[in-house]
Structure 1
Amino acid sequence: EECLIDFRELVGEHSGENMAAAVWDSHKKFGLLGRITAFVMDNATNNDTMVTAFARRCRTERIPFSATNARMRCMPHTIHLS
């Protein structure tokens, strides 16, 4: 089952750090911190940076989260690129 929990305007540069801050705030707002296992995204490098920045925030809050294991590439996007 899928459900859109938030849709936010990203103010400023679409850097991984800014994206991580927005994602963190949304997860905190809806009580999802510590419940996320993976992010499915396209191959943009700022998405890699976002997951790494999100993982740093998790470490600071002692929330288990592995950036290495949590970054999933979107298969249709990958196939489209080939």
Structure 2
Amino acid sequence: MDIRQLFARNLRAAREVKGLSQEALAYEAGLDRTYISSLERGRYYASLKAIERIARVLELDPAELLRKDEASARSQ
């Protein structure tokens, strides 16, 4: 799994845990909803500034959005 796919998976999971829609996350982060959607589908690489904004809204350390879990680490 490349870093873009890893970020996409972690972003979606964190957003769902917080109970936020893509639209709500985008609004709170000052980003466009279609950008959030594209990030979650792994279509774009997120900028560091976007990662920072998203992490702030999700109340996470930005590194959490790039962290591998045990299952994905073993499969590589």
TM-score normalised to the size of structure 2?
A: 0.34
Structure that is richer in helix per residue:
2
Higher RCO (C-alpha 8 Å, min separation 6):
2
Structure that is richer in strand per residue:
1
TM-score normalised to the size of structure 1?
A: 0.32
The structure with the larger Rg is 1
